[in-house]
């Protein structure tokens, strides 16, 4: 008796993940192409880091008291007992590489870009997933405000090229270790009498990481935030000058921005400039398809040192691929197809015809002619019907007799006229017909 197949499943993809189906692929291809072309033009080189890193890398750099570290990391123990984490973001791994590979010895700054999956255990909704993709850039080893502005310019031109034109930046400065402590004290003083009104998370944040209070999505906490003191009013002279200079560059570039004194971003490693790229209200995207920010970033002048490297400044941003695609779709932006439409159909008949057909197919590909086939079908009628449906200009038919004689039939689909051509020059003939 034949063995019986034991059925299991069906399986579903894990919550918060997506399958990128072939019909979606043109959007991904378009974004990859634009990002790499623009990044290269601006002097950035591509880097890829592992999807897993030591958990401590993110705990230390993103910050222990952040949502990402407290609630969103996919952390596991390996069989060897190490604690690893699926990367929730791309900057800390690149800072790790910069130190590990001794990139401080390269001409500075080091300009890198990446595209790849990130993982955060979040509540999935439109534009928010557990596995999502970011493209991002980093300039490490340069503290001049021109590099903040240049990264923002690159963000801007990439989105313009993708057709997402009506965007602007929200910007703020988070100061530096000189000016931030005083502000932090003031922020604590502002919130302390209001402790009872804060959400439980913010009550804890008030002790551990008061800047995170400005980041809370809770409605009541948002209301309390309205009158909170602004860091921007407490910047030291150096941070103030740096920020003013970034804004002057943006003015010069005619890139629209809005000061948002409450913008802190969800990661601890930022110093000085922070920004988020957002759709403008007249972007043409319907309310239902509105996504939160398209991307965000900022300066992280203490990150490399924090991770054991020399005191080295850096600035960068990351943007979401899925969010960009959602907006492109909502705006009806067309993308070029990935695979060219076939111009020729290769039909086969009989054992010998079929046997030779795979080789012939490769010959056509090598000649740069997009070709379709249906090798599983043996009826010529059925094959020609498919050729017709595909709208190809020419069908090639390799029958038993033609294969034996070293010929092939070339059929012009529109007129139905057929001609027998020696296999030795069929590509040449075919190219002539396709030109017509
Ligand atoms: P962040 O690293 O949190 O500053 O995020 C930068 C960008 O990545 C955001 O502006 C989004 O475009 C994208 N992003 C962040 N988290 C998610 C997520 N859970 N799902 C989809 N995209 C995300």
Q: Where are the alpha helices (DSSP H) in 296-409?
A: 303-306, 321-330, 350-366, 380-390, 400-405
Q: What Rg value do the Cα atoms of the chain yield, rounded?
A: 29
Verify cis geometry, omega within 30 degrees of 0, for the bond prior to 109: yes
pLDDT digits (tens, 9 = 90+) for 8-34: 989 999 999 999 999 999 999 999 999
Omega within 30 of 0 (cis) for the link into 10 = yes
Confidence of residue 288 (pLDDT cuts 50, 70, 90): low
pLDDT at 7 over 80: yes
What contacts 22, CB < 8 A, 6 or more positions away?
none
| Minimal-distance CA residue to ligand 1 atom 18 | 128
Q: What is the pLDDT of residue 64?
A: 87
Averaged pLDDT, 32-50: 98
26: number of Cβ within 10 Å: 15
Residues within a 6 A CB radius of ligand 1: 89, 120, 122, 127-129, 132, 134, 266, 293-296, 318-320, 322-323
Assess whether pLDDT exceeds 80 at residue 283.
no
**Percentage of the chain surpassing pLDDT 90?**
84
Do 193 and 230 contact (CB within 8 A), yes or no? no
The reported pTM is 0.92
From the CA of 88, give the closest atom in ligand 1. Answer: 2
pLDDT digits (tens, 9 = 90+) for 186-242: 999 999 999 999 999 899 889 888 888 998 888 889 899 989 999 999 999 999 999
End-to-end CA distance of the chain: 60
Please name the residue whose Cα sits nearest to atom 16 of ligand 1: 128
The best mutation among 66, 91, 323 to test binding of ligand 1, ranked by most ligand atoms within 8 Å of the C-beta, falls on 323
* HSE, side-chain direction, 13 A CA sphere, residue 9: 7
Task: Report the atom number in ligand 1 closest to the C-alpha of 127.
Answer: 21
Residue 75 and residue 227: Cα distance in Å, rounded? 38
Q: What is the mean pLDDT of the chain?
A: 94
């Amino acid at each position: 008796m034949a063995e019986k197949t034991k059925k299991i499943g069906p399986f579903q993809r894990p919550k918060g993940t997506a399958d990128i189906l072939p019909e979606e692929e043109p959007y991904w291809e378009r974004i990859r192409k634009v990002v790499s072309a623009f990044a290269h033009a601006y002097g950035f080189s591509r880097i890829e880091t592992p999807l897993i890193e030591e958990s401590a890398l993110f705990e230390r750099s993103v910050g222990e008291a952040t949502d990402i570290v407290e609630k969103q990391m996919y952390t596991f123990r390996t069989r060897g007992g190490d604690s690893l984490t699926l990367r929730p973001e791309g900057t800390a791994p690149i800072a790790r590489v910069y130190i590990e590979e001794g990139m401080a010895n390269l001409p500075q700054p080091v300009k890198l870009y990446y595209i790849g999956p990130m993982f955060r255990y979040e509540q999935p909704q439109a534009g928010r997933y557990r596995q999502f993709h970011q493209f991002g850039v980093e300039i490490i080893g340069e503290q001049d405000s021109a590099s903040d502005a240049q990264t923002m310019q690159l963000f801007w031109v990439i989105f313009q090229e993708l057709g997402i034109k009506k965007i602007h930046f929200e910007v703020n400065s988070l100061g530096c270790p000189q000016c931030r402590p005083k502000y932090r004290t003031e922020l604590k003083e502002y919130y302390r009498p209001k402790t009872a009104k804060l959400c439980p998370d913010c009550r804890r944040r008030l002790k551990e990481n008061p800047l995170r209070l400005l980041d809370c999505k809770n409605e009541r906490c948002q209301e309390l935030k309205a009158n909170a003191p602004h860091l921007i009013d407490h910047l030291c002279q150096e941070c103030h000058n740096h920020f003013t200079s970034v804004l002057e560059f943006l003015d010069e570039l005619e890139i629209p921005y809005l000061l948002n004194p409450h913008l802190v971003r969800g990661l601890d490693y930022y110093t000085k400039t922070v920004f988020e790229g957002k759709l403008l209200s007249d972007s043409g995207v319907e309310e239902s398809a509105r996504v939160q920010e398209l991307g965000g970033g900022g300066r992280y002048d203490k990150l490399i040192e924090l991770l054991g490297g020399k005191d080295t400044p850096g600035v960068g941003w990351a943007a979401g691929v899925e969010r960009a695609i959602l907006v492109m779709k909502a705006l009806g932006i067309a993308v070029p197809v990935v695979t060219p439409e076939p111009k020729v159909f290769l039909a086969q008949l009989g054992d010998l015809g079929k046997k030779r057909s795979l080789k012939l197919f490769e010959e056509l590909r090598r000649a740069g002619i997009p070709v379709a086939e249906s090798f599983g079908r043996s009826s010529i009628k059925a094959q020609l019907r498919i050729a017709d449906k595909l709208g190809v200009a020419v069908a090639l038919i390799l029958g038993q007799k033609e294969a034996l004689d070293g010929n092939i039939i070339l059929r012009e689909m529109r007129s139905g006229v057929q001609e027998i051509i020696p296999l030795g020059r069929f590509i040449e003939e075919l190219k002539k017909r396709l030109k017509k």
